[in-house]
Structure 1
Amino acid sequence: MRNTVCCLAALLATLCSTAAHATSWELKPGSDNRLEFTATFEQTPVTGVFKDFRVRFDFDPQKPDSNRLNVSIRTSSADMANPDINQAIAGKDWFDFVRYPEAVFDAKEILDAPGAAGYRARGTLQLKGHRQPLVLPFSWKPEERRMEGEFVTHRSIFDIGTGEWKSSNAVGDAVTVKFRIQLRELP
């Protein structure tokens, strides 16, 4: 009887350690992935999307020091559903696609968060040559392989909208970023 209990305990420990092992995830191609940003123009919300971005998520709830979230975005994939606006945001006053082709969020600290968010990724957002600390709240549903989140930043911090657009009178300073992505486990 004692041997049976010991064997069951060993088997259970092995199964638990296997289920909690570090897992690496990446964006699942062809999924309904969405990374959108919403600003205001004359106090009316205007939404755009980034169509080309990559995600790498390393997560082990038992080893928080090994967790990481990295998101890289091709800035020229920004689409605001209007050819004139798309042409304008490519220029130096806005994203400056030529000089700054990529934006990167890199977090090496994933923390439990109270409430529905589930987690917070503490890292740095690099955009248009500026680096700013950012805490990104997100939910992670491993059984669905889905990550969702939302945060607010300010375009002025990154010199997005300079020159005649620097003032927040016409284009508001606050920008809401939302994402809903499907991931796949890396081998």
Structure 2
Amino acid sequence: MFTRTFGKTARWIAVATACIALPVFAAALKADASKSSVTATFKQLNVPVDAKFKKFDAQITYDAAKPEASKANVDIDIASFDLGDPDYNKEVLKKEWFNAAQFPKASFVSSSIKPVAAGKLDVAGKLTIKGKTTDVHFPLNVKKDGNAQVFEGALPIKRLTYNIGEGEWKDTSMVADEVLIKFRVVTVQ
């Protein structure tokens, strides 16, 4: 009986040791909100305007040795959009613009992440804004900064694709259709 019990115990120890020794291929990372940012740059009357989303959550699973196994999910709180003026901030949350009451979040979910060069990836996925989902892809730069990973990129979109600016605001002579979403996500494990 001692041999049988010792044998079972030895097998469990061997299995547990093997599980501990297995490499972790992708680490779950969380955005450090104090060091991360998401901004939208657009032109109003041909003048560039930068606005910041103050609240967002980025969940990233990433392994530099195997980037194609990586995943990213980003949720942006639309009500946190800040143009720098309280009246403008209220205006863009209305139905004609973001319709934040009905669509409080915008989201991005990756479908593929492919290495292009050292520190450079091509990311594809689904972007959902104001209830409209489209396929997008964009270049992404990745670098290590101490214990953190830094992901930086820019995604050009057309606001009218997502019905941002309805009615009289469809006129692109006032607010251009082109918007550049820029992001810098600094993560911690």
TM-score normalised according to structure 1 size: 0.82
Aligned to 1:147: 151
Give the Cα–Cα distance (whole angstroms) in 2 for the partners of residues 20 and 107 of structure 1. Answer: 21
Distance apart, 1:39 and its partner CA: 0.8
Distance apart, 1:32 and its partner CA: 2.1
Larger strand percent:
2
Aligned to 1:132: 134
Instruction: Quote the RMSD (CA, aligned, Å).
Output: 2.2
Distance apart, 1:76 and its partner CA: 0.5
Q: Indicate conservation of the 8 Å contact 1:103/1:128, yes or no.
A: yes
Aligned to 1:98: 101
> Which structure's CA Rg is the greater one?
2
Q: Indicate conservation of the 8 Å contact 2:37/2:184, yes or no.
A: yes
Indicate which of 176, 183, 187 corresponds to 1:183: 187
Q: Indicate conservation of the 8 Å contact 2:111/2:126, yes or no.
A: no
Distance apart, 1:117 and its partner CA: 6.5
Indicate which of 151, 173, 176 corresponds to 1:172: 176
Give the Cα–Cα distance (whole angstroms) in 2 for the partners of residues 66 and 119 of structure 1. Answer: 12
Residue type at the aligned position of 2:69: S
Structure 2: 5+ residue stretches without partners: 1-20
Partner-residue secondary structure (3-state), 1:26: strand
Indicate which of 23, 41, 65 corresponds to 2:27: 23
Matches within 5 A, 1:1-187: 21-29=25-33, 31-61=34-64, 63=66, 66-114=69-117, 118-144=120-146, 145-185=149-189
Distance apart, 1:140 and its partner CA: 1.2
Residue type at the aligned position of 1:120: D
Q: Indicate conservation of the 8 Å contact 1:150/1:178, yes or no.
A: yes
* Residues 176, 65 of structure 1: alpha-carbon distance in 2 compared, 3 angstrom cutoff: closer
Give the Cα–Cα distance (whole angstroms) in 1 for the partners of residues 82 and 45 of structure 2. Answer: 19
Once the two structures are aligned, what percentage of the paired residues are identical?
Answer: 29
Give the Cα–Cα distance (whole angstroms) in 2 for the partners of residues 57 and 125 of structure 1. Answer: 16
Q: Indicate conservation of the 8 Å contact 2:58/2:73, yes or no.
A: yes
Partner-residue secondary structure (3-state), 1:177: strand
Structure 1: 5+ residue stretches without partners: 1-16
Residue type at the aligned position of 1:42: L
Give the Cα–Cα distance (whole angstroms) in 2 for the partners of residues 70 and 161 of structure 1. Answer: 26
Q: Indicate conservation of the 8 Å contact 2:119/2:143, yes or no.
A: no
* Residues 46, 117 of structure 1: alpha-carbon distance in 2 compared, 3 angstrom cutoff: farther
TM-score normalised according to structure 2 size: 0.81
Give the Cα–Cα distance (whole angstroms) in 2 for the partners of residues 104 and 142 of structure 1. Answer: 25
Which stretches of structure 1, 4 residues or longer, exceed 4 Å deviation after superposition? Answer: 17-20, 61-65
Give the Cα–Cα distance (whole angstroms) in 1 for the partners of residues 41 and 23 of structure 2. Answer: 38
Give the Cα–Cα distance (whole angstroms) in 1 for the partners of residues 72 and 64 of structure 2. Answer: 14
